């Protein structure tokens, strides 16, 4: 039997409604005084470790909550849950978060006052770049063990981010990684990209990162 192939032409952006919802949520969060920070990186670059250290630093000073995306497990949520209100978003196989799932996480957190909502995406330096999660600030982590050539190889993630955190910088003496090279490569793609070097495990750069968050919150959300 001959197979029939049909082409369906979609004459509108299929993500348009989702993107409009994400944009509306960004406005709503700003009115609540909540800065929404979206963390993206390759698997294992240190997103959860950074959030653990951030939660400890802000403890008693700032109200934070976390939505954490994972393909399969709740391992990161179990790490973060003791430190901050955390909702696990399990994608069930999808390699990135999309706004409708984030919306469910926001609903699950409730409407209590929050200074920061962090969203940790699934570890993936490609697909998350294409999805607006309603964030005010997109932050890309690149760890020194990944190599300083990654911005040029995964440009969309760096083009759509506001800040690049170079993580695990305590390991710099042990790996061939040039801070100058990674900065130059990333800024060729996104000239306005900010850069902070951190090592969440030993606390290096954590003060600069938290100060940066406070400044961005003042700038983007206000009180
Ligand atoms: N040396 C060093 N290791 C770190 C640092 N931050 C994280 N790690 C280690 O890197 C590994 C991965 O850290 P995670 O925080 O789980 O990374 P992640 O980006 O959340 O990983 P996924 O959620 O799986 O994408 C763990 O073994 C951490 O202990 C750091 O500042 N220095
Ligand atoms: Mg993680």
In a domain, 9, yes or no: no
pTM: 0.94
Q: Name the residue of 41, 49, 76, 201 whose CB sits within 8 Å of the most ligand 1 atoms, as the mutation to test its pocket.
A: 49
Domain containing 176 — which CATH number? 3.40.50.300
Minimal-distance CA residue to ligand 1 atom 13: 46
pLDDT tens track for 169-197: 999 999 999 999 999 999 999 999 999 99
Which atom, in ligand 1's list, is nearest to the CA of 199? Answer: 31
Q: Pairing between strand 35-40 and 137-143? A: parallel
Q: How many CB atoms lie within 10 A of CB 90?
A: 16
CA-wise closest residue to 115 among 24, 28, 38, 36: 36
Residue 5 falls within a domain, yes or no?
Answer: no
- Which residues does residue 64 pair with via DSSP β-bridges, in sequence order? 116
Mean pLDDT over all residues of the chain? Answer: 94
Q: Is residue 214 part of a domain?
A: yes
Residue 3 lies in a domain: no
Pocket of ligand 1 (CB under 6 A): 41, 43-49, 76, 123, 167-168, 170-171, 199-201
Strands lying side by side in the sheet with 35-40? 86-90, 64-70, 116-120, 35-40, 137-143, 163-167, 194-197
Choose one of 41, 43, 46 to mutate for the ligand 1 pocket test, by most ligand atoms within 8 angstroms of C-beta: 46
**Domain interval for residue 175:** 16-220
Structure tokens that stand for 165 in this block: 């955190």
CA of 59 to the centre of ligand 1 (A): 21
pLDDT at 11: 73
**What pLDDT does residue 2 have?**
61
pLDDT of residue 118: 98
pLDDT digits (tens, 9 = 90+) for 41-59: 999 999 999 999 999 999 9
**How many structural domains comprise the chain?**
1
Residue 92 lies in a domain: yes
Q: What is the pLDDT of residues 109-152, one digit of tens each?
A: 998 999 999 999 999 999 999 999 999 999 999 999 999 999 99
pLDDT of 3 above 80: no
């Amino acid at each position: 039997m001959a197979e029939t192939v049909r082409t369906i032409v979609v004459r509108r952006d299929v993500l348009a409604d989702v993107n409009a919802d994400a944009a509306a949520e960004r406005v709503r969060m700003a009115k609540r005084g909540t800065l929404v920070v979206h963390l993206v990186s390759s698997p294992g670059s240190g997103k959860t470790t950074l959030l653990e250290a951030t939660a400890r630093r802000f403890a008693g000073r700032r109200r934070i909550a976390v939505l954490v995306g994972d393909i399969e497990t709740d391992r990161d949520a179990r790490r973060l849950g003791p430190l901050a209100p955390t909702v696990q978003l399990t994608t069930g196989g999808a390699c990135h978060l999309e706004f409708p799932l984030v919306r469910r996480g926001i609903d699950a957190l409730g409407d209590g006052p929050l200074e920061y909502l962090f969203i940790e995406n699934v570890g993936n330096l490609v697909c998350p770049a294409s999805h607006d999660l309603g964030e005010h600030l997109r932050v890309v982590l690149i760890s020194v063990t990944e190599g300083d050539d990654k911005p040029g190889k995964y440009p969309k993630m760096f083009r759509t981010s506001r800040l690049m955190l170079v993580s695990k910088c305590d390991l710099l003496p042990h790996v061939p990684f040039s801070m100058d090279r990674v900065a130059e490569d990333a800024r060729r793609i996104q000239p306005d990209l900010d850069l902070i070097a951190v090592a969440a495990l030993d606390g290096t750069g954590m003060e600069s990162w938290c100060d940066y968050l406070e400044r961005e919150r003042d700038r983007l959300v206000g009180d």
